[in-house]
Amino acid sequence: MKKIQLLKICLLITCSAAAQQSKNAFISSLIQRMTLEEKIGQLNLLTSDMDITGPFMKAGYKKDIEAGLCGTIFNAYTPVYTRQLQEMALKTRLKIPLLFGYDVIHGHKTIFPIPLGEACTWDMSLLEKSARIAAIEASADGLQWTFSPMVDIARDPRWGRVAEGAGEDTWYGSQVAKAKVKGYQGSDLSSPNSILACVKHFALYGAIEGGRDYNTVDMSRRQMFQFYLPPYKAAVDAGVATVMTSFNEVDGIPSTGNKWLLTDLLRKQWGFKGFIVTDYTSINEMINHGIVKDEYEAGALALNAGVDMDMQGSIFSSQLKKLLQDKKITIAEINAAVYRILSAKYDLGLFKDPFRNCDTALATKEIMSAEHLRDAQMIAERSIVLLKNEHQLLPLKKEAKIALIGPLANSQRELIGNWSAAGDYTKAITLLDGIKSKTSNVTYAPGAHYSSDTMLLKKALQKQRLTVEDTANSAQMLAEAVALARRSDVVVMALGESQGMTGEAASRSDIRIPDSQKELLKAVYATGKPVVLVLMNGRPLTLEWEDANIPSILETWFLGTEAGNAIAAVLFGDYNPAGKLTMTFPRNTGQIPIFYNHKNTGRPLDVNNKYTSKYLDVSNEPLYPFGYGLSYTQFTYGAVSVSKQQITAADKLQVSIPVTNSGNYSGEEVVQLYIRDRVGSVTRPVKELKGFKKIFLEKGETRIVTFDITIEDLKFYDKDMRWTAEPGDFTVFAGPNSRDVQSASFSLK
């Protein structure tokens, strides 16, 4: 038996070595036949005019394709259009096929919750599934490459792009990174429904100062390695095919020109084999950064640092030839970049079948299929976080007379959120439609505009001029909504942000519910009717007043195509919510940055002692902590216990905690495990997530939930930057969120 297995393994190794050899031979011979211009063309990524995702556009991309001067196109899709462009590429001298990329961030046509919302499912199989479906639809629609996942750790909710990632935790973010890469790429890139994933933005983009987009990042190497780099590394370990640089600098050098980052760390230390693409015009932006004086120097810095593909900047096309003549770069560097890009095209099978993603019939069959929409609703339901539910106001009774109020209650565009790619918002199910499918006892009034701040609206909605619908009749709208509330038994209010207030270039210095909506909420609250607040937004908001006054609050993010059905299922109790936050909700913006895995400091909070680390005007505690989320049922936690008091490096420690469903509904709970290293050669966080289990318990059922802890869970970067576990005492915490935990101790010998 063993012999046969060994033989099989040897055969596999021989086959893959042979396959690698023939790939090498194919690409090398192609490179030998390429002119310098053709080589540089392969390093050139241009947007088509179908969509625009950045500041400016180079016209004439079609001419570049026809001349063999552009190897990859983004923002072009559909089998018909990509076929048309591919045919142009195949008329060039060497017939090298184009690669088609796009920002397929949370679904292609079937839109799933924004990534920050989807992360609240704490279910890796679902996160993988939505990426798989996105790949199936995108590949059926002409694409082979997505600019996803974004794995930037984010501790500052002012930054609009927190919507695109999995939140603040390093360990959790690393699990999500792996699941997403697997989902997009499948097990074999040559399968026509696999697409290349692209982990971004490498690196540290989430740590921009003040949460202001595109701003500077400055952090210690220790902070990078311990907290910010692991999710990118997890994606690399999962075999991600491509990496995108970030707009920010890393240790004083923009990522796009940072050789330490791209070559020493990513390629040499981590063993990344794929290709590196810049972010949109980020080579050009190195001039503004003040690291180079012109495009000529920018091109040299980027190529020398390890960049393979220039997104939309056209610097490689305009500068590399001259740089080579001047010996500022080498032909070996160009060849290596060309090799890596052709290698991705080869792995996808594009040389064998350049039209592998151009089948119109397949697109019709796959895109927004009934099955995909069912999954989108299921995932959307599981992304909803119940923040508060006093007196069991939820679930609603179908007989109740419901007033549905708010600018987001009947909106389709907002529901599919930012970066919704090719998503067709006209297919999105509104909350009004979702509620109507459950009861006819509902009446709707918008009540307010997204905001009365016209400057903010102009910027968020990217409009030069606002239309009448954006601002007019505020007083009348409010009066109608209040009157409607008075005539009803219960009010459901859909408030939050317009999708344009979130995502890229959408930082906010004040993360409250915008003024006009808040005014509406207060006016409706004053009627004395019970209010359920359904939040739709792309970031943690500050909700102190809401939490103090509104009995029920549901965080629904931007849930995607099936949003209305998913929220209605939760409102009426057809699905019992189980989502848990992956980003801390602060009490006010002054608390930012705020995150659960902070350090203890030398003067940890003591409310009776003035000279301890705190604010005078707000508590240190967030409003809703990391990992927080309620259910319609109650989960009661027993005492946590450990299998041993002391372990060695070879041992496994078992941590157990009994969890009982002591409420009135069956439901799911995410049981979380945190560890604190009491003393380290460098200071350690007050706790760090190291595991979780999502369980389903019937009413009255108890389960003992267990976790295995090994030495791997205790490792960190020590004072000499070695990844190691140090002997000593540890506390282990288990519970429903990062705050409400039970603890036990053990030590490592």
Question: Which residues of the shown chain bind ligand BGC in the complex (CB under 6 A)?
Answer: 53-54, 103, 147, 200, 279-280, 504
Minimum CB separation of residue 138 from ligand BGC in Å reads 14
Token pair for residue 697? Answer: 């318990």
**Amino acid identity at 604:** P
Token pair for residue 292? Answer: 């180079």
Residue 271: how many other CB atoms lie within 10 Å = 9
Measured from the CB atom, the residue of 309 and 709 that comes closer to ligand BGC is 309
Indicate the pairing of strand 402-405 with strand 728-735: unpaired
Token pair for residue 317? Answer: 């096309």
Minimum CB separation of residue 147 from ligand BGC in Å reads 3
Query: Rounded distance, CA 627 to CA 632, Å?
Result: 17
Minimum CB separation of residue 271 from ligand BGC in Å reads 24
CA pseudo-torsion sign 51, 56, 60, 62: negative
Measured from the CB atom, the residue of 53 and 681 that comes closer to ligand BGC is 53
- Secondary element (H or E) of residue 145: strand 145-146
Minimum CB separation of residue 316 from ligand BGC in Å reads 17
Query: Rounded distance, CA 491 to CA 493, Å?
Result: 6
Minimum CB separation of residue 251 from ligand BGC in Å reads 20
Minimum CB separation of residue 294 from ligand BGC in Å reads 23
Measured from the CB atom, the residue of 128 and 279 that comes closer to ligand BGC is 279
Collect all residues with Cβ–Cβ distance below 8 Å to 729 and sequence separation of at least 6.
Answer: 678, 679, 745, 746, 747
Measured from the CB atom, the residue of 104 and 535 that comes closer to ligand BGC is 104
Kindly write down the DSSP assignment for every residue of 232-283, as one continuous string: HHHHHHTT-SEEEE-SSEETTEEGGG-HIIIIIIIIIIT---SEEE--TTTT
Collect all residues with Cβ–Cβ distance below 8 Å to 255 and sequence separation of at least 6.
Answer: 201, 202, 203, 204, 245, 246, 247, 248, 249, 261, 262, 282
Query: Rounded distance, CA 218 to CA 263, Å?
Result: 20
Measured from the CB atom, the residue of 152 and 497 that comes closer to ligand BGC is 152
**198: exposed, middle or buried (Cβ count in 10 Å: 0-12, 13-18, 19+):** buried
Measured from the CB atom, the residue of 103 and 546 that comes closer to ligand BGC is 103
Minimum CB separation of residue 457 from ligand BGC in Å reads 22
Measured from the CB atom, the residue of 103 and 118 that comes closer to ligand BGC is 103
Instruction: With beta carbons less than 8 A apart as the criterion, state whether 441 and 402 touch.
Output: yes
- Which residue's C-beta sits nearest to ligand BGC? 53
Minimum CB separation of residue 391 from ligand BGC in Å reads 44
Minimum CB separation of residue 266 from ligand BGC in Å reads 18
Minimum CB separation of residue 476 from ligand BGC in Å reads 40
Residue 19: how many other CB atoms lie within 10 Å = 10
CA pseudo-torsion sign 35, 37, 40, 42: negative
Instruction: With beta carbons less than 8 A apart as the criterion, state whether 82 and 76 touch.
Output: yes
CA pseudo-torsion sign 73, 75, 79, 82: negative
**Amino acid identity at 388:** K
**Amino acid identity at 86:** Q
Minimum CB separation of residue 423 from ligand BGC in Å reads 15
Active-site annotation holds for 169: no
Instruction: With beta carbons less than 8 A apart as the criterion, state whether 159 and 166 touch.
Output: no
Collect all residues with Cβ–Cβ distance below 8 Å to 198 and sequence separation of at least 6.
Answer: 101, 145, 146, 147, 148, 240, 241, 242, 243, 244, 277
Kindly write down the DSSP assignment for every residue of 55-89, as one continuous string: S---S-HHHHHHTT---EEES--SHHHHHHHHHHH
Measured from the CB atom, the residue of 146 and 377 that comes closer to ligand BGC is 146
Measured from the CB atom, the residue of 64 and 213 that comes closer to ligand BGC is 213
Minimum CB separation of residue 626 from ligand BGC in Å reads 25
Query: Rounded distance, CA 356 to CA 142, Å?
Result: 8
Minimum CB separation of residue 135 from ligand BGC in Å reads 16
Q: What is the DSSP letter of 649?
A: T
**443: exposed, middle or buried (Cβ count in 10 Å: 0-12, 13-18, 19+):** middle
Give the strand order in the sheet containing 242-245. Answer: 198-202, 242-245, 275-277
Three-state secondary structure of 390-446: HHHCCCCCCCCCEEEECCCCCCCCHHHCCCCCCCCHHHCCCHHHHHHCCCCCEEEEC
Measured from the CB atom, the residue of 185 and 242 that comes closer to ligand BGC is 242
Q: Out of 279, 308, 310, 713, which one is annotated catalytic?
A: 279
Measured from the CB atom, the residue of 279 and 555 that comes closer to ligand BGC is 279
Measured from the CB atom, the residue of 132 and 200 that comes closer to ligand BGC is 200
Give the residues across from 691 on adjacent strands. 673
Token pair for residue 313? Answer: 């900047």
Measured from the CB atom, the residue of 53 and 706 that comes closer to ligand BGC is 53
**Amino acid identity at 181:** V
Give the strand order in the sheet containing 310-311. Answer: 145-146, 99-102, 72-74, 44-47, 310-311
Query: Rounded distance, CA 123 to CA 382, Å?
Result: 9
Residues designated catalytic: 279
